Structure formats: structure tokens, C-alpha cells
Amino acid sequence: MRAVTCHQGQLEVEEVADLTPTRGQVLLDVERCGICGSDLHARLHCDETADDVAALGYDDFMRSDQRVVMGHEFVGTVADYGPRTRKSWQVGTRVVALPVLRAGDSVHLTGLSERASGGYAEQVLVTASMAMRVPNGLDAERAALTEPMAVALHAVRRGQVGTKDTAVVVGCGPIGLAVILMLKATGVRHVIASDFSAGRRALAEKCGADVVVDPAADSPWSSFEESRRYLTSPIALAELGLEAMDKLRAVPLLPWAHVLRAAEKAGATPRGPVVFECVGVPGMIEHIVSSAPLLSRVVVVGVCMGADSFRPSMAINKELELRFAFAYDPSEFHQTLQWIASDKVDVAPLVTGTVGLGGVAGAFEALGDPERHAKILVDPASDATSV
């Protein structure tokens, strides 16, 4: 079959061995596959990530000296089943699947391992139990966004954002835009989005951001400095605590300690916004740690492949929560698919171009220009070589 291989950072269309499903696997004819920001990073920095993942016990993450077929945001139609595999759908049925492939006694990341060929190809293998039929006649273009949108849903859930909380999305690339869509889908009323790119700020507005900021001209944190809703000074937090204690201790026989604990459980004590770091370059965590209000919860979604650093003392003095979001679980993937199919989440603004296999290398380069593109899809049946 024809596929795009990545070797020493170079992307080329090649003839590779046909895929044959084994027990528990389903073979799909790829209809569309999204180009993920993590693929852009992995193309050039996979060895660093492979070293990190190897330290966790997984030795088969892609290496630069291998020939790897990338692509993990795919949708396709059922072409064949492995032996002794339940035939859940007829051949030709459109399905999506979590990009995790069980092969024998091991499990591999589809599109990020030499042992699990990805979706920049005519066909891809998936684990039968991880595949889901695409409902409601949903087209391939939107169904292909299930995987990255599931990443965003998981990140929003990791952030535990309340509908009345303020969410700050730093970086409006594909994952930042997806986070904005999922924040609004889950009922968050106030979303601030920040990006240097005018094109991406326009897309953030289309995705539902309530306030869009150009950090070169303004700061996403300035509104917090001008209001008392969120605290930006440790002294202000101490003063608030002193005022509260003055009032509580002035009431005779009041069990003030119980009142404080009850206020905390009710969410009436000070808290900060929920911040989503969706850039994934060195220095962004430090920027947020040093700039965000006190008591903020920071969810790191952007994938920084290299080493990074921040000042723990700053985070400690602000008592920030720092969380990291990686992927999703099958229920989140399923929920995302249903929301896209029911139009609860409109992913159309994210797709800015489609290429064939011959256009993948050019699409990787085009995605380096934030003014032109957000999400480019690969259609293996297309002859398009540019976007």
C-alpha cells in the first residue's frame, strides 16, 4: 500500500507492506487522517521523547532512524477482520478508533511506533474493542476530529472547570481551539483566549471564546489585576484572611473553624481561574506560573518534547495547582464522537485544508504558519499536493 514514512525527519510517499489483521484487529480503509501538532514535534524530536517513554518502560516509541508511518487522528471504513474476531459491522461501515493497537502480547501507539503503522496511509489497523461506528451519517471530515477533540474534553475534565469559573486558554492552535470548543460545550460561561496570531484569534472567536487577546498588545491576565474576583498578590490574600477572621471571631460562641471548613466545601473561599497551556514550547509553564493569579489551576495540554523549567517557589507562593493532560479514556472518546455527530460541538472551523499523501510533507511546512492553517486533513484518495 502507499503510505507516508518519516525517516530522519524526512517525509516521503512510499510503497510499504500491506497490513494483515490478526486476532482482535480490524483493517480500515483510511478516509481521512488529521495532522496533529504532536506529529510536527515528533518528526524532529522523537528521540528525546522515546528516551523519556523508555524510562517509563515502553521501548517502541518511534526513533529518527526508523521508517515510521505516522498519523493517529483517523476515520475509515471496515475492510477486513482478523481471524476469530467478532464482525461487529459490515464491510464499508465508517468507524473511528482509539489509536492504541494490541499486537500479540504488547500494546503500541498507532502512528507513533514502528510496530503500529498510522493513518498517513491507504489502510490502518485498529483494535476491535477500541473501534466505534460513526453515527448519524456523520461525514469523514468531521469524524476525523474525534481524537483531538477527545484530548480536549479530557483536558477540560482534568481542569474541573465550573460553569461560573473563568477559563484562560493560552495558545489557539488546533488543541487550544479544541479546548475552547469543549469548554463551551460543557457550559463554561467565560473563556479568555490568547494568541499572537490574528488568524488563530479569529478562529478562537468562531469557536466561542468570550474574550480574545493579542498578548503583544494586551495581557490575558490584566482583567484579573483590575478586579477583585481573583487575587494577584499574596498580601491581598493575607489581608482577606485577616478580615474574615476579624468578622468571625467578633461573633460570640461562633464555631468559626467549622464555618471556614463549610465555606471551603461550598466553594466560597478564594480560588483562581483554570488555565490551559496549549502551546507546548519551553518557557510557557514559567510564563503562566509567574503571571497567573493566586490559587489558579493550570492544565498543561501542549506537548513540549524538550526539557523545560519553571520556578517552584513562585508556584508555591501562589499555591498553584499544576496538572498535565495526556490523552483520554474510551468513554471520553465515545462522548466526543456523539457530541460531534449531534452538532453539540461544531468542529468545522478547525479544518483549514485537505491534501493527499503527496501533500503531507508540504502540509507539515504549511502548519508552521499560524495565519494560514489550524487543522489539515490527509485524504489518501486525493491527488492534492498543496493547501
Query: Containing H/E element for 256?
Result: helix 256-265
pLDDT confidence of residue 342: 96
Adjacent-strand bridge partners of 167? 191, 274
In this model, does residue 240 exceed pLDDT 70? yes
In this model, does residue 226 exceed pLDDT 80? no
Adjacent-strand bridge partners of 361? none
Segment 136-151, tens digit of pLDDT: 899 999 999 999 999 9
Encode burial over 354-369: b for 16+ CB neighbours within 10 A, e otherwise: bbbbbbbbbbbebbee
> What is d(CA 103, CA 110) in angstroms, rounded to the nearest whole number?
11
pLDDT confidence of residue 330: 98
pLDDT confidence of residue 225: 61
According to DSSP, residue 114 is labeled: T
pLDDT confidence of residue 231: 84
Contact 375, 145 (CB under 8 A): yes
pLDDT confidence of residue 130: 98
> What is d(CA 277, CA 292) in angstroms, rounded to the nearest whole number?
11
Please compute the mean of the pLDDT values over residues 66-84 and round it to a whole number: 98
Q: How far is CA 257 from CA 201, 244, 247, in A?
A: 46, 11, 13
- Strands 211-213 and 190-194, sheet pairing: parallel
pLDDT confidence of residue 237: 87
pTM reported for the whole predicted model: 0.93
Query: Containing H/E element for 234?
Result: helix 234-249
Nearest to 119 by CA among 78, 79, 70, 77: 70
Please compute the mean of the pLDDT values over residues 259-283 and round it to a whole number: 91
> What is d(CA 297, CA 289) in angstroms, rounded to the nearest whole number?
10
Please compute the mean of the pLDDT values over residues 29-43 and round it to a whole number: 94
Average pLDDT of the chain is 94
Please compute the mean of the pLDDT values over residues 120-134 and round it to a whole number: 98
In this model, does residue 200 exceed pLDDT 90? yes
Torsion, Cα of 47, 49, 52, 53 (10° steps): -100
Length of the chain: 387
pLDDT confidence of residue 87: 97
pLDDT confidence of residue 269: 84
Percent over 90 (pLDDT), the chain: 86
Please compute the mean of the pLDDT values over residues 342-361 and round it to a whole number: 96
Percent over 70 (pLDDT), the chain: 99
In this model, does residue 288 exceed pLDDT 80? yes
Sorting pLDDT into bands at 50, 70 and 90, what band is 227?
low
Please compute the mean of the pLDDT values over residues 237-252 and round it to a whole number: 91
Sorting pLDDT into bands at 50, 70 and 90, what band is 245?
very high
CB-facing half-sphere around the CA of 95: CA atoms within 13 A? 29
In this model, does residue 378 exceed pLDDT 80? yes
Sorting pLDDT into bands at 50, 70 and 90, what band is 93?
very high
C-alpha 249: how far from chain center: 47
Q: Which amino acid is at 181?
A: L
Segment 297-351, tens digit of pLDDT: 999 999 887 789 999 999 999 999 999 999 999 999 999 999 999 999 999 999 9
> What is d(CA 96, CA 119) in angstroms, rounded to the nearest whole number?
11
Least confidently predicted of 29-38, 205-214, 226-235: 226-235
> What is d(CA 387, CA 384) in angstroms, rounded to the nearest whole number?
8
Please compute the mean of the pLDDT values over residues 360-366 and round it to a whole number: 96
Encode burial over 279-291: b for 16+ CB neighbours within 10 A, e otherwise: bbbeebbeebbeb
Show the beta-strand stretches assigned E in the chain. 2-7, 10-15, 25-34, 68-69, 73-81, 94-97, 100-103, 106-109, 123-127, 131-133, 166-170, 190-194, 211-213, 274-277, 297-300, 321-324, 351-355, 375-378
Contact 82, 89 (CB under 8 A): no
pLDDT confidence of residue 311: 95
Contact 161, 167 (CB under 8 A): yes
> What is d(CA 306, CA 150) in angstroms, rounded to the nearest whole number?
24
